[in-house]
Amino acid sequence: MTGPACPILRSFDEDQARDFYIRYLGFEVSFEHRFEADLPLYMGLKRGDCLLHISEHHGDASPGSSVRIEVPDIEAFHAEITERGHPRLRPGITSMPWAREVQVTDPFGNRLIFWQSVDET
């Protein structure tokens, strides 16, 4: 047995990361770590069952990654982030044969695809 994956996403600016992931997407901080006060941030985030790690350490991850995150209600998720708003994003809901998706790109080039399965009955 295995547990769920926890992707590490690269970031370059703590303030932008907090605005995007916490304020805009609604994640909560589960932990923060720095080896010293002036060194890069490594931060754990959680929203529901989704866990993400955000790192300013250059060796932890490459910018430009993609992550798929399942949500139970894509319409509600879309309405929530639309209400909060982001100055450079206005994502819509895209229908694919297998899912309905909301795609957003963080300030560091990482793509997050929130999705809800399409009922095939």
Which tens digits make up the pLDDT trace of 41-67?
999 999 999 999 999 998 899 989 999
In degrees, rounded to 5, the angle at the alpha carbon of residue 101 between the alpha carbons of residues 97 and 107 is 145
Specify if 42 maps to a domain. Answer: yes
Specify if 2 maps to a domain. Answer: no
* pLDDT of 11 above 80: yes
Say what the alpha-carbon torsion angle 100, 43, 4, 9 is, to the nearest 10 degrees. Answer: 60
Percent of the chain scoring above 90 in pLDDT: 89
Percent of the chain scoring above 70 in pLDDT: 98
Q: Is 105 exposed, middle or buried (0-12, 13-18, 19+ CB in 10 A)?
A: middle
The radius of gyration of the chain from alpha carbons, rounded to an integer in Å, stands at: 15
Domain count, the chain: 1
Specify if 3 maps to a domain. Answer: no
Specify if 1 maps to a domain. Answer: no
Residue recorded with tokens 């547990």: 3
Specify if 96 maps to a domain. Answer: yes
Cα–Cα distance, 78 to 57 (Å, whole number) = 31
pLDDT confidence of residue 102: 98
| Domain membership of residue 15 as a residue range | 8-117
* pLDDT of 100 above 70: yes
What is residue 75's DSSP assignment? H
- CATH number, domain of 41, equals 3.10.180.10
* pLDDT of 120 above 60: no
